[in-house]
A and B are shown apart, each in its own frame.
Chain A
Amino acid sequence: MGLFDRFKTKPGAKRAVVIGLDGTPCTLARRFIQDGTMPRFAELVSRGVLLQMDTSIPDISSVAWTSFMTGANPGRHGIYGFLDLQPNSYKIYFPNSKHIRSETLWAAVGKAGRRSVVINVPSTYPAQPLNGALIAGFVAVDLNKATYPRDLVPELTRRGYRIDVDARKVQESHDALMADILETLERRIETLLWLYDTQDWDLFAGVITETDRLQHFFMDAMGGEHHKYHSAFKDFYGRVDRFIGEIASRLSGETMILMSDHGFTTIERQVYLNTWLVDHGFLRLKDNAKSVEDIAPGSLAFALDPGRIYLNVKGKFPDGIVDKADAAKILAEIKQGLSEIAVNGASVAQRIYDRDELFSGACVESAPDLCVQPIYGYDLKGAVNKTQLMDREVFTGMHTQDDATCFITTTAGEIRDGKPHITDIAPTVLAAMGLDQPTGMDGRSLIHR
């Protein structure tokens, strides 16, 4: 054995690769495999198992990726959305990596003395120290605070690494946004492959978020070939496919998982739950209210993006008026009312969950009282400055909960029964690496042991 070899990864130690495609629906992946848009992914899938996966509720990236990285439900990890309210207040804050209450997959890997390289996973900002390297994803702001160890920053800067697409470009034009999406994807792929090749790792987890940005603004492009951006959309996925091929060609015995954190579908309408709550006497707002921070006294309930409903409980919120004893009755009224929001005779709410149906753990007190899961096409929003119940905005795509992607390089016989859930990924990765699942993860490995 050479002098330095003892510091390198042990031969025979099982390694794992997780590639994330933010927001890629399993149905779309299957379509692109069949129509030849993604030939390299098709080849890879012939060597493994492609499954449709459920994600967290709410089905937005901050909650979903945190559920991925902790293997836990929001009741444990504490992240329920991109924004939340500070304790005993209506003041909004933006949860970041410091607010995650559960241990991450890479912490568990690190405890076993193994090294992780984690790139662009949303909700990892600011970068927390780990045994390995991490570049935080959305909503990372400052590359210095997004990168651990910081000595990677100069090279990332030299390579022109970009933390994110600038979605504000859409105000300029859709062409400008598309150009920015493609350019950011190139930089992302280049950095992912550079770190894949040059870092020492046992777990490599890299996420592409440009898929999500594309779909927020161009999801309608898949509706028909006549659409201006139809071929651009497919070309984009062709580029993603070549990246998947690059990773596939590098595999040498690692278990590879390719996953998304939610699906996507086209939007018919945005639905503003706070408008409904106001119209039905549950919510009062100050004049010219901009957010729920402008809630007025006398309110029974309010909504936060996407479908989170909170009772304005006495003692929990400064102007809370709901007695605990009345909570069940008011919730039942809201559930009944919301389920009656209908379009063409069909309820917009596919299902309305009580808190206890979805969440359990130390953070359950800060959970929403209800979570409304919409049918495809009706995106639930927490905006308060809307006069109509429904409207169309610039966005043409919305998230779906039941159509995330999960591909594993294993045989069908090794996959356990039951639809995968995003919290199953971390236990699956640990099992593939030969490591024990720590307590505190709700998911279970998809691979039989």
Chain B
Amino acid sequence: MSRNGFTLWFTGLSGAGKTTLARLVEKELKQRGHKVEVLDGDIIRTNLSKGLGFSKEDRDTNIRRIGFVCDLLARNGVVAIAAAISPYREIRDEVRGGSSAPFVEAYVECPLEVLVERDVKGLYKKALAGEIKNFTGVDDPYEAPGSPEVLVHSAAESPDASAMQIIARLVEMELVELELAELAQQTGDEEEDEEEVRARLKALGYV
């Protein structure tokens, strides 16, 4: 299989685990022979989008730029992974619509209560105290995706489990090749179920 590029777009609140997951998925895909580039929102704001603020307009511009670069990479065979809050559904959908390569939206869901409590970067405390304005989830909106290709719950799952779930979905979408070990696991699973399924159906007279 030739390794084709695609865009894997992480969205979610600040601190939900987008960068962590982006890096885990990057590592896994590189091991599988993919070319991978991560466009991290925090880093992009120090170069490509330097000078942009957090107004709706500036946020939209930032996302459009990241989306543009992702697509440039993806259509040249690179897996472009974006990790940015990207709070507005409309702009995410616009980026998706403008992509010439496959676009996979991964929603990293985490309850705000948990993020406020965790507050890894200390930003929620500041935002709640009014020291930071336009903070997504506090005094700026976040529009969750309606049906993302992947949905992970970072409050409930380990990062490794979420990352594997994302890989599994990419395999399912035929963007990433199934590894032999996974294939064995998958058929093993189904065979394991099959005997029980057959017995249950037999008990009701369907087999």
Chain A residues proximal to chain B, CB less than 8 Å: 3-4, 6-7, 60, 81-83, 94, 107, 110-114, 129-131, 138-139, 141-142, 145, 149-151, 164, 166-168, 170, 213, 216, 270, 291, 305, 381, 393-395
Contact = CB atoms under 8 A, between A and B. Distances in A.
A142 B206 contact: no
A139 B201 contact: yes
Contacts of B206: 60, 81-83, 305
B150 to A, nearest CB: 7
Contact of A4 (B112, B146, B196, B204): B112
B43 interface: no
Nearest to B206: A82
Nearest to A394: B205
A107 B150 CA distance: 13
Given A291-B207, A305-B206, A111 B147 contact: yes
A131 B143 CA distance: 13
Contact of A94 (B112, B113, B194): B194
Contact of A7 (B89, B112, B146): B112
Nearest to B143: A113
B32 interface: no
Contacts, number: 80
Nearest to A98: B172
22 contacts: A3-B112, A6-B141, A60-B206, A81-B206, A94-B194, A94-B198, A94-B201, A113-B89, A130-B147, A131-B146, A131-B147, A131-B151, A139-B201, A141-B196, A141-B197, A145-B189, A150-B156, A151-B157, A291-B207, A305-B207, A394-B205, A395-B204
B153 A3 contact: no
Interface in B155-201: 156-157, 189, 192-194, 196-201
A262 to B, nearest CB: 13
Contacts of B44: none
Given A4-B113, A60-B206, A139-B197, A129 B146 contact: no
Given A3-B112, A149-B153, A167-B200, A393 B205 contact: yes
B112 A129 contact: no
Nearest to B138: A3
Instruction: Pick the 10 closest A-B CB pairs, nearest first.
Output: A151-B156, A167-B203, A111-B146, A110-B147, A113-B146, A82-B206, A141-B193, A141-B196, A168-B203, A111-B147
Nearest to B165: A129
B123 interface: no
A164 B200 CA distance: 9
Contact of A110 (B146, B156, B198, B201): B146
A393 B204 CA distance: 11
A7 B113 CA distance: 11
Contact of A139 (B138, B146, B189, B200): B200
Given A131-B151, A150-B157, A142 B203 contact: no
Contacts of A168: 199, 203
B144 interface: yes
Contact of A216 (B111, B142, B205): B205
Contacts of B199: 168
B153 A151 contact: yes
B200 A149 contact: no
Contacts of A213: 204
A150 B157 CA distance: 9
A4 B89 CA distance: 19
A110 B89 CA distance: 14
A365 B142 CA distance: 45
Given A131-B151, A150-B157, A138 B200 contact: yes
Nearest to A398: B205
Given A129-B151, A131-B151, A142-B193, A113 B203 contact: no
A170 B203 contact: yes
A305 B206 CA distance: 7
A83 B147 contact: no
Nearest to B150: A129
A107 B147 contact: yes
Contact of A167 (B128, B146, B204, B207): B204
Contacts of A4: 112-113
Interface in B127-151: 128, 138, 141-144, 146-147, 150-151
B188 to A, nearest CB: 13
Contacts of A170: 203
Contacts of B198: 94
A4 to B, nearest CB: 6
A68 B187 CA distance: 29
B194 to A, nearest CB: 7
B197 A94 contact: yes
Interface centre among B147, B151, B189, B199 (most CB of A within 10 A): B147
Given A110-B146, A131-B146, A167-B200, 6 more contacts: A94-B198, A111-B147, A113-B143, A113-B146, A138-B200, A164-B200
A141 B195 CA distance: 10
